Each structure stands twice: as C-alpha cells, then as structure tokens.
Structure 1
Amino acid sequence: MTNKPFAEVIVDISARNLDRVFHYSIPPEINVPLRAGARVVVSFSGRKVEGYIVGFSDVSEVSGIKNISEVLDPETWLPADLIALAGWMADRYMCSTVTAIKALMPAGARTTGQTFFVPADSPEVVPVALLAGLEREVFDYVCRRGKVPQKEMFSRFGGRELETVLKELGSRGLIEVVRVIKPRLKPRQVQVIELALNREECERVIKDIAGKAPKQGAVLRTVYEYGSLPAAELSGLAGTTPATVRELIKKGYLAAKTVEIRRDPYASRSFTETEPLKPTPEQEKALQRLQKAITCSRLETFLLHGVTGSGKTEVYLQAIDCCIKSGKQAIVLVPEISLTPQMVERFKGRFGNLVAVLHSRLSAGERYDEWRQIKTGRVRVVVGARSAVFAPFDKLGLIIIDEEHETSYKQEDSPKYHAREVAIARGRLTNCVVVLGSATPSLESYSRALAGRYSLLTIENRVSGQALPEVTIVDLREEMKAGHRSIFSRELIGRIGDVLARREQVILFLNRRGYATFIVCRECGLVMKCPKCSITLTLHADEHELRCHYCDFRIKAPNICPDCASASIRQFGVGTQRVESEIARWFPDARVARMDMDTTTGKGSHEKILNRFRDGGIDILVGTQMIAKGLDFPGVTLVGVITADTSLNLPDFRAAERTFQLLTQVAGRAGRGKRPGEVVVQTYTPEHYSVVYAKNHDYRGFFREELTLREILEYPPYCSLVRIVISGKTENNVIQGSEMTASKLSQEFSRYSLGITQPLLGPAPAPLSKLRNRYRWQICIRGTPGSLLRRVIRKALESQQNDPLFATLKVSVDVDPLGMM
C-alpha cells in the first residue's frame, strides 16, 4: 500500500524498447489500496492497455503524467519477492519483464480485452455533412447502435477498405475507439436461500401453512433441515418451482444472499489421515539438517540423493511439518501430472485442508480459486507442477523439487525458465530452504553439490530393507539371430508368465506412444511425413490414422502408396499402442491397461488408471515416461523396458544421461513391497555405459564417466549454453537471418573472452528443421556461466531488431536448454 503520488507501471506490450517503467498518477477516485503487483488499465499511445505496478515514487522525470484509468482486480496482486523474481527472470532468460510477470499470474487471473467503436461526444456538423459512401454508412451505423464491437463491425462491413474508413473517421474526431479490459475469471458467486426467521418461528409457520400451502411448507421444511441452500437447488429438493421460493422471500420467511463458492477440485474426495513414520537412521540424519536450516530461516540449497524407494517423500513430509510449526509455508513441485494424484493423497492425508493443488489438469476456475486460497493465507502447503513455484506465499520457508533432474521442469514457451533455477533464486529472495530430491540427480546439480554450492544429503538404502531390483540386460541383436521376431524377448515373455502366475503385477515401459513409429512403402521407399513438420507421422491403429505428435496433423492411414499406388505399405517401429496389443495376444487372460498421452486426455484419467492398478484391477500396465517415475505400487515385481535405445539415439549431448535416468527410475518401480523385484531391459546396445551403469544401479560411476566426456567436449556443466532458434515461413529468409545473426554474434564475441575454445556453433538447420509450417535454423553459443554471455548476446540481437528482414522472422532465445530438437 502507498501514499506516494506516482505508480511505476510495466505495460503489457511486447516491444524491447518499451521494456521499462512508465509513471502514472493515482487519481483520487481510485479509493482501493494499491500494492506493487496490482494489475491496472492505463492509457498508452492512444489506447487502453493492461499494466502491472512494480513500485511507487514521489517524483517523475517527465511532465504530463497520465492517470491510471482503472484497477482491474484489487485482490490479485503479487508479493514483493515475486516482483523481484520477475526482474531476475527477465535478465536470466533474456525475455521482457512483462513476459516474466505474466508467467507468475494464474491462468484464470489473466485478462480479456474487447474493442468497441462509439460516436464522438460532439462530432462537428461540417465534417459529417461531407461524409459519403462507406464512411457515411459506417458512421450512421455507429451513431444508431451507440456502441459497436470490433468483431461485429468487421463482420458487417468487412474488407481492407473498412480499416481505412475507421482511421479516417477517427482522425476527423467523429468516432472513438474504446478498449475494455476485464479479468477472464472472477470468484464464483451463487445465490443461497436461508431462513429469515428463527427456528422456533419457522416451526410455527410450517404448521400454519402446511395444510393451506403444502408446497410453501415443503420449501420451508427443506431450508429448516439444511440451514441454507443454493437457490438453483432448493426448488428441486422441495419438489416445487422457483416461484414458490420467491413468494416465501416476499413474505419475509426466507432471505436470499450472494456468497462466494470455492471451485474445489477435491471437494468430493476424502483422504485417509496419516501419521509420521519413524525415520530410518539415514532419513533421520537428513531430517536433522533440514529442520535446523528451516528453524533458523537459513538460506541453503540441499541435494537429497536417495535411491528409489528410500523414503524421500517421508523426509519431505516431516520437513514440511517442521516448516508449518515454525509459522512458515512450503511449496512442493512434482514433475508430471501423473505423479500428482499419489502426491496429493500423501500430502492431503498428512496436512488435510492446509494443502492447495496447482497443475494444468485443473480447470481455469479451479486454478484461480486455489491461487486465491494461497494468496489469502488459508493454506500452508502447495503441491503442483512447474508453475507452482510461483505460488504467492508471503512467509515462504521451504521449496521442495521432487525428481529435480526431470526435463518437464523446463518451460518451452517464453519465458523459457527452469523451475529448479527459479526455486533457488526465490530461495535467495525469501531466505528459505530449497530441497532438490532425486535418485538420479542432473549432472549440473550433483557437480554443484560436490563443489560445495549445494549441501549433499545421501540415502543409500531402501526403507523396506529390500535390495534394489536385479536387472537383466537382453541383447536384441541376439534375439534376431535366434529368429525370435517378437517385440518381447524370450526372457521377458518367460518372466511375465511367472509373475502373472504368482498374481503379481508388471509394468512395461516404452517412451513412444502410438502403434508404429512410421509407415513406409517397400516399393518406392516413401515414408509418410507431416506436411507441416519435418517429422514422420505415427500410426495410431485404433483410429487407423497417422498423427504428427508436434502439430497434431492427422490423416487416414493409406492402404496403398500415395506415390506409386503399391500395396506394399508396411509399419516400422513400436509404440505403446502396439505393446498393449501384442501383450494382450501373448497373455489373453491378463488385464492390460495403457497410460500415455492418448489415454489420459480426460480430467482425472491419470488417477482412474493408477487407482485401478493400485487396487489390483490391472495386471500389466503399459506406458510412457509418465509411469517411469515416482509411482509406488508394492504389487509390482517386474518391470520390462521394451527398448532402451529410444532416448539414446536422439541428437542431443544429454542423450546418455537421459537414458541412464530413465532406466534407473523405471527400474525403481519394481520390488517396493515385501517381494523382491526384477527388471528386464531390452536393447541393441547392451555395451553402452549408460545401460551398464543403470544395470548396476551405479550413479556415481555413470556420473564420473559422463562428466569426463562433457569436460572434453566443453558442454555443461563446464559451460553455459544458449540456443537461438530463428524461424519463419520463407526458408531463404530464415537462412539469411541466421547467417546475419551468427555474423553479428561473432563480431561481439571477438571483443571478449568467453573461456571456451569454440563459443559459436552454427548456424545450421535445427534437428526438427520444420515445425508447424515454419522453417527453423539454430545457433548455439557456449561460454563461461555468468551475465557477460547474456549481455553480449542481448547486444547482438538488439542491434538488428529494426532490420526489415527480422520483421518476418521469430527469434527465440533459450538459456541452458534441455532439448536441442
């Protein structure tokens, strides 16, 4: 809140030269308290735009300061640490400040704008008399209607000429353009009916009217029984009509009032209350260090490296309990929506209504209401996916990032932030504890822990005392030599049969959905590709269609070749849909389910599948990486990896690390109960070090070998990496723009030492060289981590932003990218 005369506002306009503070006066008619982070409507270059207050000042260096036009929603404002965090993100990820601020806001709190044309207050008579043709027609229509939405105007009159006419009428002062900005969502309010009498009076009235007006009596009895009811439900429950309810309100027996209703995604769920478990000695040691840092409000980042099944979640729960008892709040991030149901159950079971949930599968209204619950301090713990790191707590004491190595913590759209980095930055701003947990930490995190930048906590044993599962590697080349052509090796088929005979459960993992990876004509060699993206189309057998998993282009799968009319169309590669189909053929009595992006589109679909699996209604669960991490099902004693080579062969320097992590994580789903687990990994490259170390559950061995390679190649964590992707609809423009950008970068780099032998890689076509009808080239820059590298890149890009060529191109900057496609 402030009593200063000027508000410092960042306007919502994406232009580099406008990425700065503008001063606006606070008019006396705005009688609500204003805070930094509040959203306002301001006048900017003759139009109404949304803006965000980031501070206040007593003086302004410019004259003619305009007033703030409107405060959008006084309740939706951001804590001071989030405003500072937006500034840090803008610098770190080389985006505009307003882009960073908008990332902090919940989807439901964003605004919608509508443009209207209205008559001027006093149009001059002479110019009006001169109007003719379309100008006269448009002007008369606006005067007759009084207020015409832009969409209606262009629908009625259409054409390019209309834009010229509207500009001309505006310049003559005959019509005005009005921009109305309002929040997309507001708190949900409903009318409820309650008794206007005390209960004794109500009993008397019910007796008096029961014989004369039975329907009115029924309504009164219903309200008497329930206390209060939504108006929309009351008449139905009482077996009458809304008119009867209105009559009773007129008589003064009932009263209507408007109340806010929370859109609670878990209102219909009940959670079994749980008590803290006795920690193992390793858990206790980790907890003591965490609790000490939380109690002392000491800024510290911990890396909790615990094997799969070691009870990291129980450590999180007890650390959060300490945080709450210290009067503070906690955020817990999970990497996948598929982890959320099980995580929510654990946290709601321990902390009840003190827990709010934030993830993309909630409706916009549910997310908005959860955000408001957090904002008003009604909850103390937030569990959610990546964007939950922005939960608007004002007494933050702890941020936990479970499975910190996961790539889904990286945002693919601008701002291209990494939730792990943002959490640590927010920890610095709020002096809170940050915990990064994983069985397979990223190389960056583990190397920082060894260097002392993070505090390393290690749990090397499972809570149950069970050994880690035995891993068997199957060489698929040998299967081929033996004439065994199934997608399941003989070893895997035998193990599945044994497990089913013991009435235990199986997880089959393949990180590729669909039925077949691609289809090809054996006559002419045609491979069916997406016309919009440089990627093969994936066959989905149930719908008999080919789909692009990038732009969702779909066509019916052909039975004959579109080029040569041959019938020799064949399927190649394997997806989860085919695994599901084949396993049902091998084991027809087994209950099989599939969990991937195709089977989990509906709300709550993840939870339904996982609940069936947990309750023993599924024998074999087939899925992609959403089943590979974090899930804890004691009945699973066998995990099968259909092919370990899917991630290993990607054109990415992190391919070996991803493969090791996936294999280790999915192997960790087996043997978490009383019965020992076993894992079968099928691969064409059994000698690859990522496969060998995963077989032996040897994270440190993999870390040492991979780190040596990264040092030789000068890749992270030995440098900072920035990827610039230049895209456009005309390939020649993209190539020319890429070459110009590379040249400009080379000029700038020649002035500085970036500590790398070859800082500039490219320009070259991106691995995915065409996406959604846009051609893509990339430039990769390596340098010593720090602000110098970003400053040099920013200077190079800003020097060419006014070039007409770049008006046709999109330049995307990704700092420390996790994907190179």
Structure 2
Amino acid sequence: MASMTLDDGAAERESPDAARPRLSVLLPLPFPGPLDYLGFLPPDTVEPGDLVTVPLGRREEIGCVWDATSTVPADFAPEPSQPIERRRLRPVRALLGTPRIPETLRRFIDWLAAYTLTPPGLVLAMAIRACSAEPPRPALGWVRGNADPTEVRLTPARRKVLDALGNAPRTTAELATIADVGPSVVRGLANVGLIREMVIPVAAPFAALDPDFRPPVLSDEQAIVAQALSEAVDARRYSATLLEGVTGSGKTEVYLEAVAQALRQGRQVLVLLPEIALSAQWTDRFARRFGAQAAVWHSDLGAKRRRMTWRAVAEGQARVVVGARSALFLPFPDLGLIVVDEEHDTAFKQEDGVTYHGRDMAVLRARIADVPVVLVSATPSLESLANVEAGRYAHLTLAARHGGAVLPEVGLIDMRAHPPERGLFLSPVLTEAINESFARQEQAMLFLNRRGYAPLTLCRACGFRMECPNCSAWLVEHRARRELACHHCGHTDPLPPTCPNCQAEGSLVPIGPGIERILEESRALFPDARILVMASDTLGSPQATADAVRRIAAREVDLIIGTQIVAKGWHFPHLTLVGVVDADLGLGGGDLRAAERTVQLLHQVAGRAGRAEAPGRVLLQSYVSEHPVMQALVSNDYRAFMEQEANQRRPGFWPPYGRLAALIVSAATAEAADALARTIGEHAPHLPGVQILGPAPAPLAMLRGRHRRRLLLRTRRNVAVQPILRQWLAGLRTASQERVDIDIDPVSFL
C-alpha cells in the first residue's frame, strides 16, 4: 500500500489510517534502529515480537514489531532519531504465521547491539534467519475407503496397492514404490472410493527427554558439585558459576545433572560448544543419559532442518539445544539454564559480521532471562578467573579424574639436546616412546597445530618466498592436493615446477613442518602402524568426525596425528601417549594472550592421555624448555601460571583488568587506508584513563585484497568504551571502498 499524503489534520481524522496505531518495526538491515509504521485497523492488533511484512521502498521486507521503550542504558544506546510525521508512515502489510520473538530475546538483541556498536537489525537477522513464515504443511496419505471392493473391478496392480496399504496411512509415492506401480493406479483407487485421503499425524521433531532415564554414578566430589548446580537451577534466578575441573574429571556428567533438573521443571536448556566437531561425541553421551538426542544447532544444518529446529525451539518442543555460538539467538520461550562448555576456547569469538564473544554474550543472555549460567573448563580463561576473584562468579572445582584415572606425567624433550635427524621433526626420544606404546598395544597421538605440508615454500636459488597475492601471508603447501593455499582468504595456486622469480627448476623447498609432513615422516618411521589424521582438512563434517572417533574407540587406529581439533574434549580410553611436535608454536608475536592460549591448548591436548586404567604420558618437544609456559605444563600447576599472567597484566590495565576496543580500518589501497586511519587518529579522544594506540599497520596488513590499519583504545575496567567510541566516530564519513570495523574486547590482534 502506498503511503498517503494529507493536507490537513481534518483529512487525517477522516482517513481510516487515523485509527491505526503507530508501531516500531525492526528490520534485519543495518539501520540505526526500528522504523515506524502504521499497525492494523482495530480490532486486529499486533504485539511486540510479532513478525510482519512491511513495505520498504518498492520491495517488501520481514521485520519484527519492536518494543516502544528500550532497557539499554542511555550511555550505551545510540541517540534516538526524530519521529517521522504520521502522515508519511506506511501501513504494515501482513502478520506472519510464526511464533512470537520472546521479550527476553528482544532485550538481548538490543543489549548486544549496543555493547558491540552494531546496528540492531543485523543482530535481529541472526535471530530470524531460519524462521519459516508458515507452519509445516501436514502431509497427506491414503487409508482404506468405504467402497465395497466386490463392486469394483480390481486389477492385479490395484490389488498390490491395497495389500501394501496396511493399517497406517501412506503417501502416494510410498504406495507406488512398495506396490511397484505408477501413481495413476493409486489415484484410480481413490476415484472409485477404495482409498481415501487423510492427514498423516506429524511426529514431534524431537523425542521426549527423560531426566531420570539413566542417572550416572557420581563420586562424592562430583555429587557435591552437581547438587550445587541443581540448586542454582531450582533458584530460578540469575547466577554465574565457573565449573573448573581437571581433564577427565567428569565435568560433562556433572553439569548434565543441572540439565536434568531444568527438564524436571519443564524448562529449556542451551548448551554451547566451541566447535561443531564436538557435537557427535557429546550428543551420544547425552542420549545415553536422557534416552533421546538433544536438538543440534550449527551452520552445517540444512535449511529444512534449521527451520524445523527454530520452530521447535520457539514452540517449546525442543527442550535441550546443543549448538555453536549462533544458538544464542534462538527464540527460547522458557529458558531455564545456559551452559558454556570449554568456555576458554577462542572459537566462541565471532570475528566476521557482528563481532561478539559467545561466552560473554551467554552470560548477558542469562542475566536478561534471569537464569543460571555455568561456564565449564579444565583451563579457565583469565577473564572468568578474574570474575571469580571479584565475586561476580561462583567457583566449583573437580580436582580428581573420574573412575580412578590419574593425570598424565608431562615431560620435556629439549630439542637442542635431542635433535631429530636432518630433515626430520620427531626427536628420537619421542619416536622411541611411540614404539614402546605400540609394543604395549596402546594408542599414541602426535599434535601439531598447523595444517598442510609446510607453512613456507622458498627458492633456494634466489630466496623468493611464495606469498598470497591477497594477504600478508605465506602460501601453505598442501602436497596431497599439489597446491599452495592461503588459509586466510582461500586463494590457491598449483605447485609450480620452477621459481616464479628466477625460473630456477626444482629449486622450491618446503620450510618447516605441517601435519602432512608429520604424516609422511610417521609412515616411514612406523610402517606397520594404522594412522588416522584429524584436522579440518580431513574431517569435513560432524559425521566424518564421529566415524573417526568410533574408529579410535574401536582400536582400529594406532597413531592419531591431529591439529587443534584433537584438543576438544575427546575421550579416547586407549590413548596413553601424546607427543607435541612443536610446543613453542604460538609463543611468538605480540599477542597479549599468546602464553595463556598456548598453556590452555597444550594442557587440553595433554588431557587426552591416560583417561582410563592405563597411565598417560605427555612429551613436549621444545627449544625453550626454560619458558614459563613449559614449566607450568611440566608442573601441572595451571593456577600458578594464571596468577603469574594476571600479575603481568594488572599494572598496565590489560584485560581482564582493563578494557580494549579495536578499530580496524580497511580500504582498497594502502594510501586510502593510511589517510582514513590518520584522520581517525587525529580526532582521537583525550580523556583521563583513556589511551589510544596507533594507527599502525595490522599484523595482517593486507587481508582478502584489502589494506588494513589498526587503532586500539584502552581504558580502565570501570570506564565504558562504547560512549567514547560513539562520540569519537560521530560524523566520520567514509568512501564506498573504505570501512571501519569495531571490535569490542578483541581476542585476535591480526
């Protein structure tokens, strides 16, 4: 319907539109806030949370009727726009047949948008992307009709259809397939009344969960922790608890008791995992505990499954959802508990599009919904430990491995004293330990967090290095595919026979090891071993991951070679030896959290060893065995290391004892990026307790063909960065090829 132009107030009073209420409608587009429309004529009404179609220019968009007032503090919220004259407003066109977006989710969208300085419509887009405008259409099937078969000519084909019908309704396609006839035979039976059409009852998409299906046998320590978490669920109010437990201590079984308590109350539960790959083993464990599978939510779900799951969550039928960070935006009407497993994992940080941290936003969603949230890890982040220290989080610990298993012994291999043979990367000490494990018929693992064959390829004649044309990064050789690839933008080149710079033949040599090179070396050293590679290149789906885990558990594998995917909480009962090929990897560079991340990753990898009766052993190959990270791993004193890390960050007010916000300037040319970054730097705020670092080239100065510069805003913890940033960037004008991205609480500094 076109907007109406009225000449005076009298004309407006006479118009039917005068009776229409003014509505705020948030569209999934980058507008600064909701747009105003006219609602339906009484008695038809819409409520906040209803999804509607509205006109926008010459097209039609789906939007959500939004709340008239916001709960976001004024300091965080953008300046409200001036209301548009009523005569210029256009009416809402239709109400969609979808469940309403709950009030707690609408508030969460507003808060997340304000905190991350993101247009709220872009956050809404993540919440309604999978919604379906109409409920699923009921399937129609055939049952026996009322006609007398003796009065109808029955051909052999028709008799086969009637025999195939049985007692349950079947579709035309099913009957035609079973009876091996054409669809016209089925329709012919309908025409003479021998069969009639009826609606096939639709089974619930997710089976009912039984909180008491198979309760676990808990140790005394586990039972105490489980009781505390269940009491938090019973309280039906917000609380945040850090559940810290050594690897193999049974943290999952413990927090599943809190899930069971929420189910007994008839409420819904959200469990967040950092990686899709974790879902297969987790869901199997969940089904053994509750008698049915949880709903799964991640980006690899097909469109139909996503729509079905979204509606099942909105209607309260999906009681437990396990998913990646995007599951935070599902429309739970009665959320009773949120769990963030492996809360330290940096995969919870969304780097593209809407930039947010899944762990922190899970805490925000729990606070808005007034429900408990449990953060779980064997290696908690310094942010969570600081919140415990400040009294914002409760702290529960599991100090012992479950079932009598003991923590693995961790040892260092000083590569200066025990170097590998020339051109190889495994120390003789490590290869001997692997052979000993094989002799005992136990499994071993080699860990290297680097995909491909080699991270660098250079010409030994002229020194030329193979670099990505779109990024400030070397091309990684993937020998199995005979190509060079950029792991940042996806650019690939065939492996050239000559140097592109000096044309020398056979002069290109790989430098350093990737996981493919370790596989090649392992095949030569252990020719009889059954080897499995676990990396994102080789495990392309949750199903492939599940099959790999099954093979390992069935002892069909002797040696596992993996990247960081093997550190994600797997339980391999026959794995007793873990060798870390390059324990120093990750310690270099200027990353604020480099040491913390390295300790967390290697501690998690080490935790895969000795989780059953046989004791475990971990060997770390290092050229800096005296480094505090290596010493912390050998002493297995994670807490002492984190206290040391905290003491280094407090004086300079580095997170979590201060706040950071990154401004990433990007443009099509280096000159444009420099000019825009300089302009922003010249208008930087000069406020007490606020420091601006930069502008400077980003470590990845070019990414996907765009030149990048960075500025960093640092403040004390009690200073909110959002109002400062909003005022700083107010009025900034950028050209069409220029962008300024804001990352509140950055995790990556690339």
TM-score, normalisation: structure 1: 0.83
CA distance in 2, matches of 1:286, 1:433: 15
CA distance in 1, matches of 2:154, 2:99: 51
CA contact (8 A) 1:9 1:52 kept: yes
Deviation at 1:391, TM superposition (A): 2.8
CA contact (8 A) 2:325 2:358 kept: yes
CA distance in 2, matches of 1:314, 1:188: 36
Picking from 20, 23, 32, the partner of 1:7 is 23
Structure 1 segment 622-701 matched on structure 2, within 5 A: 622-701=561-640
CA contact (8 A) 1:353 1:379 kept: no
Distance 1:89 1:533, change over 3 A: same
Q: Residue type of the partner of 1:95?
A: T
Is 1:583 the counterpart of 2:522 in the alignment?
Answer: yes
CA contact (8 A) 1:93 1:416 kept: yes
The aligned counterpart of 1:229 is 170
Is 1:248 the counterpart of 2:271 in the alignment?
Answer: no
The aligned counterpart of 1:90 is 113
The aligned counterpart of 1:109 is 131
CA contact (8 A) 1:637 1:675 kept: yes
Task: Tell me whether 645-654 or 441-450 shows the greater mean CA deviation.
Answer: 645-654
CA contact (8 A) 1:187 1:369 kept: no
CA contact (8 A) 2:437 2:577 kept: yes
Give the match's secondary structure for 1:807. coil
CA distance in 1, matches of 2:330, 2:483: 41
The aligned counterpart of 1:127 is none
Structure 1 segment 109-128 matched on structure 2, within 5 A: 109=131
CA deviation map 1:242-294 (0-9, x unaligned): 01011112122223456697896x99xx99x9622222222122122212221
Distance 1:565 1:262, change over 3 A: farther
CA distance in 1, matches of 2:393, 2:293: 29
CA contact (8 A) 1:410 1:419 kept: yes
Distance 1:240 1:495, change over 3 A: same
Picking from 79, 103, 119, the partner of 1:80 is 103
Is 1:308 the counterpart of 2:247 in the alignment?
Answer: yes
CA distance in 2, matches of 1:251, 1:630: 62
Structure 1 segment 216-365 matched on structure 2, within 5 A: 216-225=158-167, 227-256=168-197, 275-353=214-292, 355-365=294-304
Is 1:790 the counterpart of 2:725 in the alignment?
Answer: no
The aligned counterpart of 1:512 is 450
How big is the alpha-carbon RMSD for the aligned residues of Structure 1 and Structure 2?
2.6
Structure 1 segment 130-141 matched on structure 2, within 5 A: none
Is 1:753 the counterpart of 2:688 in the alignment?
Answer: yes
The aligned counterpart of 1:123 is none
The aligned counterpart of 2:145 is 197
Structure 1 segment 12-23 matched on structure 2, within 5 A: 12-14=28-30, 18-23=31-36
The aligned counterpart of 1:213 is 155
CA contact (8 A) 2:98 2:131 kept: no
Give the match's secondary structure for 1:574. coil
CA deviation map 1:52-86 (0-9, x unaligned): 211369xx873215344433632153111000001
Q: Residue type of the partner of 2:24?
A: E
Distance 1:479 1:72, change over 3 A: farther
Give the match's secondary structure for 2:316. coil
Give the match's secondary structure for 1:762. strand
Task: Tell me whether 216-225 or 294-303 shows the greater mean CA deviation.
Answer: 216-225
Q: Residue type of the partner of 1:781?
A: L
CA distance in 2, matches of 1:793, 1:439: 35
Deviation at 1:461, TM superposition (A): 0.7
User: What is the percentage of aligned positions where both structures have the same residue?
Assistant: 35
CA deviation map 1:277-329 (0-9, x unaligned): 22222212212221222112131100011100111001111111111112322
CA contact (8 A) 1:725 1:776 kept: yes
CA contact (8 A) 2:216 2:289 kept: no
Is 1:547 the counterpart of 2:485 in the alignment?
Answer: yes
CA contact (8 A) 1:95 1:414 kept: no
CA distance in 2, matches of 1:196, 1:798: 71
Structure 1 segment 221-620 matched on structure 2, within 5 A: 221-225=163-167, 227-256=168-197, 275-353=214-292, 355-480=294-419, 485-566=423-504, 567-602=506-541, 604-620=543-559
Q: Residue type of the partner of 1:43?
A: P
TM-score, normalisation: structure 2: 0.91
CA distance in 1, matches of 2:428, 2:171: 62
Deviation at 1:713, TM superposition (A): 3.9
Deviation at 1:46, TM superposition (A): 5.1
CA contact (8 A) 2:457 2:508 kept: yes
CA deviation map 1:146-196 (0-9, x unaligned): xxxxxxxxxxxxxxxxxxxxxxxxxxxxxxxxxxxxx6xx66657542214
CA deviation map 1:498-523 (0-9, x unaligned): 11122211222111110111110011
CA distance in 2, matches of 1:29, 1:544: 68
Picking from 678, 699, 704, the partner of 1:767 is 699
CA distance in 2, matches of 1:579, 1:260: 55
CA distance in 1, matches of 2:204, 2:747: 35
Is 1:24 the counterpart of 2:46 in the alignment?
Answer: no
CA deviation map 1:652-711 (0-9, x unaligned): 110000000011000000111111111111122211111210122211111111111112
CA distance in 2, matches of 1:189, 1:557: 52
Is 1:41 the counterpart of 2:41 in the alignment?
Answer: no
CA contact (8 A) 1:38 1:74 kept: no
Deviation at 1:812, TM superposition (A): 0.5
CA distance in 2, matches of 1:274, 1:510: 40
CA distance in 1, matches of 2:522, 2:204: 41
Distance 1:440 1:742, change over 3 A: same
Deviation at 1:49, TM superposition (A): 3.6
CA distance in 1, matches of 2:389, 2:195: 69
CA contact (8 A) 2:297 2:323 kept: yes
CA distance in 1, matches of 2:20, 2:629: 60
Q: Flag the structure with more relative contact order, 1 or 2, with Cα contacts below 8 A and sequence separation at least 6.
A: 2
Is 1:64 the counterpart of 2:102 in the alignment?
Answer: no
Distance 1:34 1:27, change over 3 A: closer
Q: Residue type of the partner of 2:329?
A: F
CA distance in 2, matches of 1:683, 1:295: 49
Deviation at 1:354, TM superposition (A): 6.8
CA distance in 1, matches of 2:480, 2:265: 54
CA deviation map 1:444-496 (0-9, x unaligned): 1011102211001111111122221001111222233x756521111111111
Picking from 727, 733, 736, the partner of 1:807 is 736
CA distance in 1, matches of 2:509, 2:554: 39
| Structure 1 unmatched runs, 5+ | 111-182
Give the match's secondary structure for 2:416. helix
CA distance in 2, matches of 1:93, 1:661: 27
CA distance in 2, matches of 1:12, 1:29: 27
Distance 1:237 1:603, change over 3 A: farther
CA distance in 2, matches of 1:377, 1:325: 14
CA distance in 2, matches of 1:527, 1:562: 10
CA distance in 2, matches of 1:787, 1:425: 18
Deviation at 1:221, TM superposition (A): 1.4
